[in-house]
A and B are shown apart, each in its own frame.
Chain A
Amino acid sequence: MYKYDEYDQAMVDARVEEFRDQTRRRIEGHLSEDQFKPLRLKNGLYLQLHAYMLRVAVPYGTLNSRQMRKLAHIARKYDRGYGHFTTRQNIQYNWIKLAEAPDILAELATVEMHAIQTSGESIRNLSADHYAGAAPDEICDPRPWAELIRQATTFHPEFSYLPRKFKIAVIAAQEDRAALRWHDCALRIVKNESGEQGFEVYAGGGMGRTPIIAFPIREFCPAGQIFSYIQAILRVWNRHARRDNIHKQRMKILVHELGEEEFRRQVEMEFEHILTLGRDFPQAEYDRIAAHFDPPPFETALSEELDRSDPDFALWVDRQVAAHKAPGYAIVNISLKPCGGITGDISAEQMELVADLAERYSFDDLRSTHVQNLVLPHVRKQDLYAVWQALDAAGLASVNLGLVTDIIACPGLDYCSLANARSIPVAQQIAERFADLDRQLDLGELKIKISGCINACGHHHAAHIGILGVDRKGTENYQLLLGGSGAEDVSQAKITGPGFDETGIVDAVERTIERYREIREPGERFLDCYRRVGMDPFKEAIYG
């Protein structure tokens, strides 16, 4: 993975000192909360219901064991012994003291980590395919480009006071594991007819109160010009977005107002101009970065055999382990969704265990996923049993990848100052209702996603079955949505009808799923069944 040189380290160290100074000025009363707010937000520090929350960047979801151990240390020393992995592949701490935030950033800097641009109206920490470098279906590892774009967009002078946040995702595979087209700027690495590498670019996606799927703005942007193209997109948006209504300032709204064709025309004109400025990074810099992502020294002539005599292990392998590009290796998915647990939460002890496993069995490489799970990307098949035993002993061997209990949920009203309703208890009740593994396996792929408010951090628009918490006359109410997808078959979920209370929504989910079971064709996923029959059979089951 990428290793900082003295330049990268100096930038992160300078940021720590800047934030230390800003925090001191706030505590001493020289900065008002109004003045301090945008400054702290540029460092991922939110003021939540009970305490400050710090969002730490995990660029493109890649971590090493040293970094994970540091995250565990921070959880133990500065928080309550745990952290929370988010739908942006980052990690959040929920119980931070303002006076200690600079010390946390200083600790992070010692392991080449930071919280730069994890919030606020900035180019956010970018996300990527969590199987990068391991997936059989990728044309290359997307992370060198992700790292190059990270550097190019860090402290960008023209685009540090944007109309709203701006999210970038990068993948290089046909299968979309990154909810690509739900981003403001979605990049898929492709090859053109002459075999040259470049980017297929989508623009103007996003969730929130106005969900829009990014539209294909450019079929092929030569790889070496991608920074110019991103700047062209940003400049058109920065200049022409509304600034009078925070709910209408995301890029998707401008794209919608101008129309795709006009937006594309303006971006192309700007692109032509920016290309003349010579702002793109040279090939030599790409090569320098890419060398950090050379494949690990995979062993050859490894056995493909697996001893499946332990039935629990066999179950786990069949669900949690994915095919790897190198013979004899496998990708291990670690579920952070134990039955009755809190989606994405992980204790300091579990972090350390995962760090140990990554170091010992996965070339010191581990990943966070936008589905709020973790991944050991490069495990020898012959080591799978040992890895499973260790995970199982730590409560990390749940079998539910892509199943009904692999629920995405935002922190909701238990933590978040924006939320209208709690997400965590709803996720827990659904998980308990469907805890039986045979039942889950029978239902197959089924993606439930829960947001505690219209801002949609829980990705409910992209859910097979989505739940949106709203406030109805002072009580929590939950709307049900069906038919969304964040994968390559992307679609936006639709609301079924009137909402429910907390118990009612769990019942409604179960009725929806039971109806699916009655009407599905052999082997048909819930999403495909919904697309075949439409909303009506489900509405009938839900509302009678």
Chain B
Amino acid sequence: MGDPLRFRDDPAPDEPGVSLDAFLNQKDATSVLLEAGDDVRALLPELGRVRLVEIDFPRFRDGRGFSSASILREAGYTGEIRAIGDVLVDLVFFMRRCGFDSFEPDAPFHPGAVDAALSRYPDVYQSATDGREPIWALRHPQFAAE
């Protein structure tokens, strides 16, 4: 497996993610690996020391990780969120919107496919953690962000 595809400028954390239980017990750990069934909210009191959250997709159809990432960003977490496992390029657009900013798929993405997936839709209908202006805000400039 090569380097993860990252949408961040900071250096990639080099500490491998430990399980949620282990992370909560090891007060100096900074990387955590969330399984699809883990309760991400257990992590919220510890966010101050987290640098990397890896979220596993055991099967690409298992969409629990989308909620986990969203909850982390809604709680103000600004560190890295990496999608790992059965991550298909067709998920990347939605994942970026939910706050994922790095990707380490089991099967590497085809070159160019990520850019195509991310640029496919000109706009979005609803706001999410990525801060994009939804179409309703574009329609009503008085609501547009400064």
Contact = CB atoms under 8 A, between A and B. Distances in A.
A21 B127 CA distance: 27
A268 interface: no
Interface residues of B, number: 38
B90 A279 contact: no
Contacts of B67: 158, 235, 238-239
B139 A282 contact: no
B90 A39 contact: yes
Nearest to B132: A157
A393 interface: no
Contacts of A284: 140, 142-143
B126 interface: yes
Interface stretch (A5-13, A299-307, A349-357): A5-13
A159 B93 CA distance: 13
Nearest to A156: B126
A288 B143 CA distance: 14
Interface stretch (A147-155, A254-262, A456-464, A482-490): A147-155
B123 interface: yes
B91 interface: yes
A77 interface: no
Interface stretch (B3-11, B15-23, B46-54, B56-64): B56-64
Contacts, number: 103
B124 interface: yes
A103 interface: no
Contact of B121 (A39, A155, A277): A155
Which 6 A-B pairs rank lowest in CB-CB distance, beginning with the nearest? A161-B63, A157-B97, A157-B94, A285-B136, A7-B135, A158-B66
Interface of A: 5, 7-8, 10-11, 14, 17-18, 21, 35, 38-39, 121, 151-163, 227, 235, 238-239, 243, 273, 277-279, 281-282, 284-285, 288
Given A158-B94, A163-B63, 18 more contacts: A11-B121, A121-B61, A151-B136, A153-B126, A157-B70, A157-B93, A158-B66, A161-B61, A161-B94, A162-B63, A235-B67, A239-B67, A243-B37, A243-B59, A281-B136, A282-B143, A285-B140, A288-B140
27 contacts: A5-B139, A7-B138, A7-B139, A10-B123, A35-B88, A39-B90, A152-B126, A154-B125, A155-B121, A157-B95, A157-B97, A157-B124, A157-B126, A158-B63, A158-B94, A159-B66, A160-B66, A161-B63, A238-B63, A238-B67, A239-B64, A243-B62, A278-B127, A279-B126, A282-B136, A284-B143, A288-B140
